[in-house]
Structure 1
Amino acid sequence: MTQDHPFAQYVRILGKGPKMWRDMTFDEARAAMNMVLSGEAEPLQLGAFLLLLRRKGETGEELAGMVAAARDHFVAQDVTAKVDFDWPSYADRHRQQPWFILSAILLADQGYKVLMHGIEGYSDGYAPTRPGLSVFNVPQATSLSDAAAQLGAKNLVYLGLEKFCPSLQMLFELRPLLGVRTAVNTFARDINPFGAPFQLQGVFHPPYKALHLGTVQALGQPNSLIFKGGGGEVQRNPMKPVLVDGLVEGEPVEQEWPAMTEENVYKWREEDLAPVQLLRLWRGELDLPVPILAIIGTLAFALKLTKPTLTTNEAEARAREIWESRDKARFG
């Protein structure tokens, strides 16, 4: 080969010497990720690109460009649906029950249209989202068009990434080969397939809050709350104070939410990982104070995002009322 491969320019931007490398622009990141998702980058180039990007540290502008590329590669284009909340679920290896599913159900019960999307867990012994959704008969759509149709009748629908952007799903499968997570694990959370005006983001590492904030700002997302979530999911840890970063009507905000309990340790039991435990908690057959507070606290975040004038106490009080007044026999 006498000429550089077309993708080499993007590896070069990141891989030059200590004083020569630079961040990519939005357009460069979008073009690079478009080549990746089209299969135009060689495997060697892809590995170098992702690891150089991780070693450098991504920027919000770079991740926003990659989100734009992912949207370019949706299996179906120009599919629209009225969605209020975008709820990403991409923490594929957490060992916690996805109690947040109950928060999403309660939010949908308030009349909000919620799209939850994500990937499946990699290993047995973890508690991925989809089995938990199944026990509540939450529709799991087969495509963007199917999700749009389902949202016409239901307020909560799940859509797997492999159903609407399989080329991006394939990049998640590189983790066992590379040994580390990459920008893919970060920017996929910001895809927001239907452009919902409200978005919740749970991250595992607090430094990623600022990165996601920069990403959603670059994407023009109007309302978003970003916080350290249990297992990296949209799930509040009620045992600790939470510092939330976000956007409200396009303006950056910081919110301080105090701990909801004096408990500081919750021992997760193996039986807690069984999806049926979610159903038993809904029915009132289990008394698990910390998970119940996680459900209430997560719902409170969503309520405050839609009504910024609510105080944190008011949002939590309203969320508690919604939880306590639920129809326990609904999923009999």
Structure 2
Amino acid sequence: MTTPAALTLETPAEHPFAPFVRILGKGKRGARNLTREEAREAMGMLLDDKVEDTQLGAFLMLLRHKEESAEEMAGFTEAMRARLTPPAIKVDIDWPTYAGKKRHLPWYLLAAKCLAQNGVRIFMHGGGAHTAGRMYSEQLLEELRIPLCRNWQSVTQALDAGNLTFMPLQDWAPQLQRMIDLRNTLGLRSPIHSLARILNPLGARCGLQSIFHPGYQSVHREASGLLGDTSIVVKGDGGEIEINPDSASHLYGTTAGISWDEEWPALSAQRHVKPASLEPEHLKALWRGEVQDSYPQLALLSTMALALRGLGTPREQALEMAQRYWDNRDKAL
């Protein structure tokens, strides 16, 4: 009688990305934040498509659940910047626009347009319409004559011609766009929305960031500080870079890694009534001077002042400059 050959059992090798998921998901006592170096390595693997889809979803949602740290965001940013290859393009303001508006029209677009008419070079970027019921920058670019660029050469040409351009995230970081597009599959925003705001891909003199959720503003400021960047983080209206004139604004600033804070008082003594509907034609009418409307004019003036503050101009002087720029704008559309 012959004895069957012994079965050989082999333990499958652990996936190289598994340790990063384990660090975040090992329970209340075992889980911890990623170090900056771990975050850099993990994001590098995500960007280089070296993870399984299940790992990607688990990683993003574990980060979302615990809330990302400044060190993690700095490491993620370093990984992304190491893989970007844009040409040297002079930019004054990096202006991420990823949230969309639902309570008010995107008056920040007129603020950026007016600043550009006065020599401020602005690079805007966004991630498309990822949430229903919101109005996104991309939907209004053509009507407001803001150039939509699909490659770095056209970005250079648009900035040289008119100081303002918008480039979709899909065209310069498709890996990040794919992760953002998981929002409706996973049911929650992921840290990629935060990463896109911090990136400042062209190394602008100042990066503006709007973070709506309380507590995240200081994390973003700290991450930019770790990177040695100059940036201002605010709680903008609806999550976009737009000052709400009905409320006081706290500016979380960092200049070459040194943190500072400013409190800007509300510009309006009384709160304005929210519009019943968002009509894009109202944007154009205000720009052309066909209507007067207190809320948007205060919102765009203070938003222009915010950008000028990022370039080193004190608040009161920045507000005066913004008013002068607005009064003397070229109203043609």
Q: What is the TM-score when the length of structure 2 is the normalising length?
A: 0.91
26 and 298 in structure 1: CA distance in 2 versus 1, 3 angstrom threshold: same
Q: By how many angstroms is 1:124 displaced?
A: 5.8
Q: Which amino acid aligns with 1:259?
A: A
Structure 2 runs not aligned, ≥5 long: 1-10
The whole-number CA distance in structure 1 between the counterparts of 2:102 and 2:76 is 25
**In 2, are the aligned partners of 1:202 and 1:233 still within 8 Å (CA)?**
yes
Aligned twin of 1:244 = 251
In structure 1, the residue matched to 2:8 is none
CA deviations over 1:131-190 (Å, ceiling 9, x no partner): 322112111111123212322322001110001111110111111111111111111111
Q: CA deviation at 1:280?
A: 0.8
User: What aligned pairs does 1:226-245 form with structure 2 within 5 A after superposition?
Assistant: 226-245=233-252
The corresponding residue for 1:188 is 196
What is the correspondence of 1:81-230 to structure 2 with a 5 Å cutoff? 81-92=89-100, 94-122=102-130, 125-221=133-229, 223-230=230-237
1:21-45 Cα offsets, whole Å, 9 max, x none, are 2211222112111212222211221
Residues 52 and 124 (structure 1), Cα distance of their counterparts in 2 relative to 1, 3 Å cut: closer
For 1:26 and 1:124, how far apart are their aligned partners in 2? 34
* 1:229 and 1:237 in contact (8 A); partners too: yes
Q: Name the CA distance, whole Å, in 2 between partners of 1:265 and 1:207.
A: 26
Say how many residue pairs are matched: 323
What's the CA shift for 1:249? Answer: 4.3
Following TM superposition, by how much is the alpha carbon of 1:315 offset from its aligned partner in structure 2, in angstroms?
2.1
Whole-angstrom distance in 1 between the partners of 2:48 and 2:103: 34
User: Tell me, which stretches of 5 or more residues in structure 1 are unaligned?
Assistant: none
RMSD: 1.7
Q: Deviations over 1:193-247 (max 9, x none)?
A: 10001111111113111111011112211x2111110110000000011111111
The more displaced of 59-68 and 161-170 is: 59-68
Give the partner amino acid of 2:210: G
Greater Rg over alpha carbons, structure = 2
Q: State the Cα distance separating 1:275 from its structure 2 match.
A: 2.6
**Equivalent residues in 2 for 1:20-59, closer than 5 Å:** 20-59=30-69
Contact 1:94 1:232 (C-alpha < 8 Å) held by counterparts: no
Q: Measured at CA, do residues 320 and 113 of structure 1 come closer, stay the same or move farther in structure 2, by a change above 3 Å?
A: same
Displacement of 1:8 in angstroms is: 0.2
Ranges of 4+ aligned residues in structure 1 off by more than 6 Å? none
Cα distance in 2 for partners of 1:81, 1:127 equals 29
Cα deviation 1:71-127 (Å, max 9, x = unaligned): 3444xx242201111011010464431100111112112212110011122356421
Task: Kindly indicate whether the alpha-carbon contact (under 8 Å) linking 2:104 and 2:274 is maintained by their aligned counterparts in 1.
Answer: no
Partner-residue secondary structure (3-state), 1:225:
strand
Counterpart of 1:141, as a letter, is C
Are residue 303 (structure 1) and residue 303 (structure 2) matched?
no
In the aligned structure 1, how far is the partner of 2:100 from the partner of 2:107? 15
1:70 maps to amino acid: M
Counting aligned pairs with the same residue, the percent is: 38
Q: 2:321 aligns with which of 312, 318, 323?
A: 318
